[in-house]
Amino acid sequence: MRRSIKLADEKIAELRQHYAGRDDQDFVAMCLLMYAADHATEPLEHPALQAELNTILQQLDKILQDDV
């Protein structure tokens, strides 16, 4: 449990550096989405799925950068 909390804190700190000025709730939501995406696709190494996920993540990054 402590390891998971430490990893989440590190990811949130990393996100704060990239997306300054965002709300803490935004960082927690982004961290949870990344965690869910990482674990949901681990067993499914299908190239088409990976390409679709990369497209979605790029769109999310663009939206977040446009808001800053």
Query: The tokens of 30 are what?
Result: 């982004």
Query: The tokens of 48 are what?
Result: 């088409």
Residue ranges per structural domain of the chain: 2-67
C-beta of residue 41 within 8 angstroms of C-beta of residue 50: yes
pLDDT 10s digits, 38-58? 776 566 677 777 888 889 999
Separation between Cα atoms, residue 38 and residue 17, nearest integer Å: 21
Segment 15-32 mean pLDDT: 85
pLDDT of residue 68: 60
3-state secondary structure of 45: coil
The model's pTM: 0.51
Q: Which residues contact 12 (CB under 8 A, 6 or more apart)?
A: 24, 27, 28, 31
